[in-house]
Amino acid sequence: MKTICVDEQEITRQIVKDIEQDEIAKAVKKLRQQATNSNELLPAWLSKTADALENNDWGILSEDFINMNFIGKNGYFLIIGPYQINRQSQPKRALSAIYGKIHDNQEPSIEQLENLCREKFGKLSHSIPINLSFTEIASCGNVSGESGEAFIVPNGWYFSNIVCGPALNNAKEQQQRFLGSSRECILKVFEYETANLLLGPLEDELNGERYRHMDTQVHEAGHASGLGFDFKIKHNLFQNYTYGGVEEWRADSLGFEFAACILPAQEAGKLVAVNFCIRFGLDAHRLGGIEKDTDVYASLISLEYLFQNDAVYVTKNGQLALRNLTYPGLLEAVELHRTHALSLTRRELTLKSPTGFFPLYNVDIHPSTQSIFQGLVMERCQGIWTKLQ
């Protein structure tokens, strides 16, 4: 049985390699063989994937993806399809494949988060996408490596342009980024004690993956709050990078709020630390910069509210430092993030027309904040991220 499993995994790796080399006919043939012989992957999903590849008809995968009918025995899965990422305000779509194993991690529960959304805003416009953490076995395309996505959002897949379905969080790639280039950036941007506080949860060998998972799950709950992410996509409300940046910052900040409601302050503060490592250690350094990239702009907004809350200052050595070097203090540092995101979300629910979204999603950035962000965050880390797009 062990030999069969090893052989099956090798064949699945070969399928991913075939996709990477644009050997579609070979991939289709192996997918049909695996649909008959596989002990790990779901036969129906493999057959539909082969049909989708052969006929370029990706809509046939939509329903099974939304209902998570692509996860096989013991959590193994293979997803193949066009996946779109946005870099420097430009969409980039490529046929992509990801083969991995889902982790058994259900904290916090979707029910708990949905109840919180209703409590805060009186309604929930659509269900919260579940975040599935996984270990990658093989990948290619826009979901592979440092230049691809480690957090694979459902609306990136070209399955009838769906915005529903699970988000996939690549634990292996996330760890490599956090403990590699991201860690180096955090140590350059922040003074020593602040950097150690921020990196602590990610360097926790027992709980690091759990913290990363929880951070992305409360972030998804933030997106679902208010009008809801799918409503905004369907009405084309993210017409430029600034609107998308405000949405990302809003999801972050509501994630902080939800974490504060379901976790002790010590633990909630650790999720804030994880978020800051993502925003200031990774997202702030995307090549699009302040004037093109959604994630860079979200990081800039986060710094703006930290300054407004007097939670950070610039040291004599030109590094950023937190005034309160504790995890409960880190949660207090994002008090304005939480307050403004709650207000913004409640206001968007009162809009009479979707066009009211545009003036609402406008954040004033102080020129000094932008100057500090460019000089002490972006320029300081130039050259560290060599492949990030």
Residue 2 has pLDDT above 80, yes or no: no
Q: What is the rounded average pLDDT of the residues 379-389?
A: 71
Q: What is the pLDDT of residue 26?
A: 95
Q: What is the pLDDT of residue 169?
A: 86
Distance CA 126, CA 56 (A): 29
Contact 281, 296 (CB under 8 A): no
Q: What is the pLDDT of residue 288?
A: 79
Mean pLDDT of the chain: 90
Q: What is the pLDDT of residue 163?
A: 66
Residue 334 has pLDDT above 90, yes or no: yes
Q: 72, 231, 96, 65: which is closest to 160 by C-alpha? A: 65
183 φ/ψ sector (left φ>0, alpha ψ -120 to 50, else beta): alpha
Q: Please, which residues have CB within 8 angstroms of residue 71's CB and are 6 or more apart in sequence?
A: 42, 77, 102, 132
* Range with the poorest average pLDDT among 47-51, 63-67, 366-370: 63-67
Q: What is the pLDDT of residue 106?
A: 72
Q: What is the rounded average pLDDT of the residues 323-330?
A: 98
Q: What is the rounded average pLDDT of the residues 273-291?
A: 91
Which helix (DSSP H) or strand (DSSP E) does residue 118 occupy? helix 110-121
Residue 6 has pLDDT above 80, yes or no: no
268 or 239, greater pLDDT: 268
Look-up: residue for tokens 């203090």?
329
Q: What is the pLDDT of residue 389?
A: 44
Q: What is the rounded average pLDDT of the residues 107-115?
A: 90
Distance CA 365, CA 349 (A): 24
Q: What is the pLDDT of residue 4?
A: 43
Q: What is the pLDDT of residue 5?
A: 57
Question: CA 35, 36, 41: angle at the middle one, nearest 5?
Answer: 40
The encoded tokens of residue 239 equal 């017409």
Q: What is the pLDDT of residue 107?
A: 76
**What 8-state DSSP symbol labels residue 226?**
T
Q: What is the rounded average pLDDT of the residues 362-366?
A: 94
Share of the chain above pLDDT 70, in %: 95
* Range with the poorest average pLDDT among 133-142, 143-152, 270-279: 143-152
Q: What is the rounded average pLDDT of the residues 122-150?
A: 85
* Range with the poorest average pLDDT among 82-96, 255-269, 331-345: 82-96
pLDDT in tens, 143-187: 987 667 778 888 889 886 666 788 898 887 777 777 778 899 999
Q: 299, 288, 285, 295: which is closest to 385 by C-alpha? A: 285
Q: What is the pLDDT of residue 219?
A: 95
The encoded tokens of residue 261 equal 């409601």
Q: 178, 380, 135: which is closest to 278 by C-alpha? A: 178
Q: 259, 222, 248: which is closest to 342 by C-alpha? A: 222
pLDDT band at 38 (very low <50, low <70, confident <90, very high): confident
The encoded tokens of residue 110 equal 């979707």
